[in-house]
Structures are given as structure tokens and as C-alpha cells.
Chain A
Amino acid sequence: MERIFDEELKALKGRILALGGLVEEQVQRSIKALVDRDSDLARTTIEEDHRVNRMEVEVDEECVRLIALRQPAAGDLRFLTTAMKIVTDLERMGDLAVDTCERALELNEEPPLKPYIDIPRMADAAQRMLKEALDAFVNRDAALARKVCRDDDFVDDLNKQVFRELVSFMVEDPHTITRAIRISFISKYLERVADHATNIAEMVVYMVEGRIIRHMVP
């Protein structure tokens, strides 16, 4: 039996996906602004963040409305609680894109420290995790969600590698310290983006299977 509630849930899913798509773009632009040393792009990306924030509030309010009026149970309830949690993760990823842009603006004021190699790799991996987490959400695909959780290690390892490399720069030449620390922040931001994608994937497993896999050793 098709319910009016199903239409509302479908519309909500559409809004979450629109938010997810916007966050993907924001992360992508922030890295492009960094790698291409494009300060204009960094500034417009920062300005766009209010759209992410607005959409997050809208989804949140819609979830509260549906919980109050539809009194969801079982799969519907798990979908709505998942939705409320993952929009928070998406919004934070948007904030991390802003942070990356701010560091990019600072870095663009100084000569490049070195060509970016691992940072774009991290960004690619983190963005793929985000995309796959959202795909898993849409398609209720717990297997894909679990893959996203596993992929997090790759980004964590890259973050450590970037850190070690930056330390060696700083040890050799103290003039690099300011830039190296800024780049190290960006590496950490990307590592956090991957963590948020992992959170989303974990919630998808909960939504699909009713099983909480957070805080578990895989």
C-alpha cells in the first residue's frame, strides 16, 4: 500500500541528496582552490556555505515534523533518525571545505612549499567515500556502506604520511613551518571529511539492518 508518508520520505531523501551533492561540490572546489592557487574560487566557496547550512536546517526541521506527525516506527523510524544524523555530518563536511578554503587563501599569499601530490589523493579518496556513502544511503546498500568504512584506513594512512613529510620539511627549514602547519591542517580536514563519510556509512548500515556498528573494531 502506497502511503502519503512514502511521498514525504521520498521528498526528504531528495533533499538530503541535494545537500550531499552540494557538499561534494564544496569539498571539490576547496581542493581545486588550493591546488590551483585560486583565491577567487576559495572565496566563492566560502560564500556558498550558507546554502549548506540552510539545507541542513530544512532537512532537520522536516525530520522533526515527520516524527511528530507520522509517528514513524521500524524502517521509517530508522530512516528518519539516520537522516537527522547524516545531515549533521554533511554540514560539518561543508564547514571543513570552508576551513580548507581559508587555509588555501593563507597559503596563496606565500610561495608554494611543494607540489601537492598526497593531498589531492586524499581528497579524491575522501570524496569517493562521501559519494559512495550517499549512494549506499539512496540504494539502501549495506555492503557498499561497509566498504566505505573500510576505506577510511587509506585516508588515515595518507594523513600520517603527509604529516611525516611536512615534519621533515620543517626540520630542514624553519621558514616552511607556517606553510607546513597550514597544509597539515588541510590534511587533517580531509581526514575528518573521510571520518564523516564513515559516520554516514555506519548510519546506513543501521538504517538497513537495524544494527549499530559504530565504535566497533571491524
Chain B
Amino acid sequence: MPIETRLSPDLHANASTEALESAMVEIRNLSLWYGEKQALKNISMDVPKNRITAYIGPSGCGKTTLLRCLNRMNDLVDGVRTSGTIRIGGTDIQDSALDVTELRKRVGMVFQKSNPFPKSIYENAAYGPRILGASDRRELDQIVERSLRGAALWDEVKDRLNDSALGLSGGQQQRLCIARAIAVEPDVLLMDEPCSALDPIATAKIEELMIGLKRRYTIVIVTHNMQQAARVSDITGFMLMGELVEIGATRDLFTNPKDRRTEDYITGRFG
């Protein structure tokens, strides 16, 4: 059965979340090969707007590859070939004429390891808007403050905006990376294991932040931490060997998965 026909009844079952019907990202029959090796197998699904969608699955299942398709990060890898379509906000992002910089403005990304630039806190948050042409100091000040507030970092750094970002703690650095990503007001925020290097308190802060951010952004997260997926996401997809085995409302997937392989994975029986 194609994934999308399996998906829709589950989603419609949750009448309280009406915005689920509005898809920000539409993936259809997406396959991807690294040379001879097929890493994604005919994936079709919608990423609903203003929701957190999580991908879980064992290492090598293709979840990060799928995430990287959404802002064409895989373009940077030699020998990658894809088929199928991905539309974000209705635009076909696989189109060769598409301006990838423009795409990445609309689809921000936060990585596993926080990677602030070796610049001041202010310059990190101002980096994207500057690239996109903002130069007015007052405008930049506003963007920086709004982004740092949005990333729940403002109160901790407002008195030392010109200090180096590298002096921040790991959790603060990661929130700065989120601030940097949202400074350009993307539609979609991709997060690849954003908390794997953080302690539980810093993790909890990022998770709280994500739940707040979904009001403005559509978030897609890849995580090894199933409890994290359960805590933050609205939709969870389970991937295995390049296949999207099952996707549905998080509360259903974690209480009553339909596929035996999902059950085995989330209960730790896998392998």
C-alpha cells in the first residue's frame, strides 16, 4: 500500500489538529542512490505545516539522507542520483533551474554538532540577513534581537553580544545556531540530531524551544532518541534500510504501531 494512502486516515483521525491537512513539504516517489547503493526507496509523504515531524530509525536507514534532500544538501555529494519529486510550498525543489541559495533561505538547517562561526554572537545571528543584503544597523539589531529571543537565548547573551560565540556553552551554541537559522525567516527548519551532544537540561531547553517555534515554522527533525521524538513531534516516521516503513501521528506510532518492524524498533527488540 502506498504510504500516503496509509497516512491520511491516521491524520484525519486527529480532528483537533486541523492544520495537518496543509502540507508544507510534499514528497512523491523519492528514491536516491549513492552510486550503486540505493539509500532511499520510493518515499511518498507529506510534511504538515506548523508541525514537528520526526524521523526515527537505526543508523544507515536513510533518515539523514532524506532530511538533506529537503534543502538539497546531497548536491554536495559525488555520485548522488535521485528520482521522484519534492515540493516545498508548492515549488519543485529538484528543478535544476532553482536557486539553491534561495532554497536554503527558505529551508534552514541545524546540525548535530553546534557550528557557530568564529565570530561574535551578534555576527552569527546577523550572518544570514547580511548575506541576503540587509545592511542597515537598526534593522540588523532588530533581526538579531528577534532571532535570539526566538531561540530563547536573548536573556542570556544580551549584555555580551560582541563576545565570541565560541565562549558559549554547548547548549547555548546550539540555540545560537537555531537563532542563525531563523534569522532569515525560513519556512522549514531541518534539525539533524540537534541534541545528541547536549546534556538533559540543554536538551530540554531545545525541545521546549522547538515546540514554541512550530507556531511559525515547519520543523523536521532526525533523531536517534526515540523518547525525544515522542516528546516533541506531532508526526513520526520510522525508516528502515531506505524505506519509510510507517508514518503517522506520534501518539499512535508509540502506542500502537501498525508494522511489526516499527514495534520491534521502538520497543528495543530490533536486530
Q: Identify the A interface with B (CB < 8 A).
A: 1, 3, 5, 71-78, 210
The distance from the CB of B230 to the nearest CB of chain A, in whole angstroms, is 7
10 additional contacts (CB under 8 A) given A73-B254, A74-B266, A210-B256 = A1-B270, A72-B267, A73-B230, A74-B254, A74-B255, A74-B262, A74-B267, A75-B267, A76-B267, A78-B256
Please give, as numbers and ranges, the residues of chain A lying within 8 Å of B257 by CB-CB distance.
74
The distance from the CB of B161 to the nearest CB of chain A, in whole angstroms, is 40
The answer for the CA separation of A71 and B225 in the assembled complex, in Å, is 12
Report if B35 contacts A (CB, 8 A).
no
The verdict on A73 contacting B267 (CB below 8 Å), with A78-B256, A210-B255, A210-B256 known, is yes
The distance from the CB of A80 to the nearest CB of chain B, in whole angstroms, is 11
The answer for the CA separation of A86 and B226 in the assembled complex, in Å, is 28
Closest A residue to B226 by beta carbon equals: A73
The answer for the CA separation of A1 and B264 in the assembled complex, in Å, is 9
Report if B133 contacts A (CB, 8 A).
no
Report if B268 contacts A (CB, 8 A).
yes
Q: Which of A71, A74, A76, A77 has the most CB of B within 10 A?
A: A74
Please give, as numbers and ranges, the residues of chain A lying within 8 Å of B266 by CB-CB distance.
73-74
Q: Which of B226, B267, B271 has the most CB of A within 10 A?
A: B267
Please give, as numbers and ranges, the residues of chain A lying within 8 Å of B37 by CB-CB distance.
none
Please give, as numbers and ranges, the residues of chain A lying within 8 Å of B142 by CB-CB distance.
none
Please give, as numbers and ranges, the residues of chain B lying within 8 Å of A78 by CB-CB distance.
255-256
The distance from the CB of B18 to the nearest CB of chain A, in whole angstroms, is 23
The distance from the CB of B178 to the nearest CB of chain A, in whole angstroms, is 26
The distance from the CB of B247 to the nearest CB of chain A, in whole angstroms, is 15
Please give, as numbers and ranges, the residues of chain B lying within 8 Å of A77 by CB-CB distance.
254-255
The distance from the CB of A75 to the nearest CB of chain B, in whole angstroms, is 6
Partner of B263, one of A1, A5, A75: A75
The answer for the CA separation of A210 and B263 in the assembled complex, in Å, is 12
The answer for the CA separation of A73 and B251 in the assembled complex, in Å, is 10
